[in-house]
Amino acid sequence: MKSNKDYIEFTEKFSANNYHPLPVVLTRGRGIWVWDVEGKKYLDMLSGYSALNQGHCHPRIAGALKKQADELSLTSRAFHNDKMGDFLEKICTLAGYEKALPMNSGAEAVETAIKVARKWGYYKKKVKDDCAEIIICENNFHGRTTTIVGFSSEVQYRDGFGPFAPGFKMIPYDDLSALDNAISESTVGFLIEPIQGEGGVNVPADGYLRKCQEICRKNNVLLIDDEIQTGLGRTGRLFAYEYENARPDILVIGKALSGGFYPVSAIACDNSIMEVIKPGDHGSTFGGNPLASAIGIAALDVIIEEKLAQRAYELGNWFTDELRKIQNPKFKEVRGKGLLIGIELTEKARPYCEKLMDLGILAKETHDMVVRFAPPLIIKKEELEWALDKIKQVFNT
Ligand SMILES: *Cc1c(COP(=O)(O)O)cnc(C)c1O
């Protein structure tokens, strides 16, 4: 039998060295559990960066995939298909918007939001040609395209990849007066994460998003809410903005939109904004294809019917309280919402993630000092109790 080490050595021979994964090779997943090639079982507390809110290989989504794979996989948007309408209707109904535009990866959806906001700026707000500005926050993570890394504050994300696209202005996160001051007559949008996931599970002050919305409205600036990681139940609401009733002008979703089967993303907004997009303005060969649409419909149905947002709310509050009870001088802060939880340490988190792995829990550090816990939302309380026991073994001093 080949070991984890064998697979890793073999794979690294051919793979670009762009990740630093934990040394485990997974071969099977069901629900909240995954198994490595040596037969060891782990609780997945990363959930594919929240793409697996519905758990691994959810039978209902797998069924939809298999059925559609035998019917029609791809038409390209040169022709219509009979699934995309149902998918977009579902997104619009759930999120409360008039229109949706489907893409594949999260970064593509963010790019789509940027294009729509800029074109809206020129055609509706009458911003001077080529002057549109979008405000973004320090510590943001919106993906890895050249435009998006160009407005990252993370040195490594940018280093060696310039020159970058202009038109972005950076302000500190959770700073309302910085937003107010940064807005000019050329500002078309403010792009924000309701909680910064990759940035270290940074939760802004209560009321921040609501006040951002007010500032944006007052200045005719689009509030663009990247809920690729926080959305679809993760934080205890279907969308994190619901905590503050701060409905954005453009909503960006991805990750769990497919339950982990396939890259599916989208933006949603009202027609007064989406109508600036004309045939030929934007597109993607795979965006809105029938396979993605069938998967997306099933993935959304599971989130609603299994009440995953409510589960995340109840279990997340309980689990966060329990984590806060752990006495460890290296704990700087336990923070999060729902089942998006980060423990900030006073030292590097990687060794702790490795210890957790030995005990059968897969979690990954983010921003060096933060351990993120984000299990599939189908997890049961007993299973979280089991995890808590292991986490205490690693962190109790
Ligand atoms: C993961 C993520 C993205 C990028 O999604 P990809 O599918 O990796 O391109 C964008 N924004 C946020 C908030 C994310 O967490």
Chain centroid offset of residue 289 CA? 21
The pLDDT score that the predictor gives to residue 141 is 98
pLDDT tens digits, one per residue of 83-114 = 999 999 999 999 999 999 999 999 999 999 99
What pLDDT score does 367 carry?
Answer: 87
Write down the catalytic residue from 44, 225, 226, 249. Answer: 226
Q: What is the pLDDT of residue 396?
A: 84
343 and 289, same structural domain? no
Q: pLDDT by residue (tens digit) across 305-357? A: 999 999 999 999 999 999 999 999 999 999 999 999 999 999 999 999 999 99
Q: Is 261 a catalytic residue?
A: no
Residues 182 and 268 in one domain: yes
224-251 exposure pattern, b = at least 16 Cβ within 10 A, e = fewer? bbbbbbbbbbbbbbbbbbbbbebebbbb
Whether residue 45 lies inside any domain: the answer is no
How far is ligand 1, taken at its centre, from the CA of residue 1, in Å? Answer: 36
- 238 lies in the same domain as 345: no
Domain at 212, CATH number: 3.40.640.10
Over residues 31-41, the mean pLDDT reads 98
Mean pLDDT of 162-188: 98
DSSP-derived 3-state class of residue 84: helix
Which of the 8 DSSP states describes residue 241? G
Domain enclosing residue 228, as ranges: 59-305
Provide DSSP, 201-218.
Answer: SBPPPTTHHHHHHHHHHH
From the CB of residue 377, how many other CB atoms can be counted at a distance below 10 Å? 31
- The whole-number average pLDDT for the span 61-72 is 98
218 is catalytic: no
Ligand 1 pocket test: pick from 108, 140, 142, 149 the residue with the most ligand atoms within 8 Å of its Cβ: 142
Residue 244: strand, helix, or coil = helix
Active-site residue, 255 included: yes
265 and 193 part of one domain: yes
- 223 is a domain residue: yes
Distance CA 104, CA 290 (A): 12
**Domain membership flag for residue 294:** yes
Would 11 be classed as within a structural domain? no
Q: Whose CA is nearest to atom 15 of ligand 1?
A: 229
330 shares a domain with 210: no
- Report the candidate in 220, 225, 228 with the shortest Cα–Cα distance to residue 209: 225
For residue 2, tell me if it sits in a domain.
no
| Pair 182, 322 in one domain | no
Same domain assignment for residues 258 and 337: no
Nearest ligand 1 atom, CA 108: 9
Q: For the domain that residue 314 is a member of, what is the CATH number?
A: 3.90.1150.10
Residue 142 alpha carbon to ligand 1 centre in Å = 5
Is 229 a domain residue? Answer: yes
Q: What is the mean pLDDT of the chain?
A: 97
Judged on CB neighbours under 10 Å (0-12, 13-18, 19+), 78 is exposed
pLDDT at 397 over 80: no
Per residue in 129-138, pLDDT (tens digit) is: 999 999 999 9
Q: How many domains are contained in the chain?
A: 2
Q: At what angle do helices 308-325 and 290-305 cross, to 10 degrees?
A: 60
Helix (H) or strand (E) holding 135: strand 133-137
> Are 367 and 250 within one domain?
no
The response to whether residue 229 sits with its C-beta less than 6 Å from ligand 1 reads yes
Q: DSSP labels for 287-323?
A: TT-HHHHHHHHHHHHHHHHTTHHHHHHHHHHHHHHHH
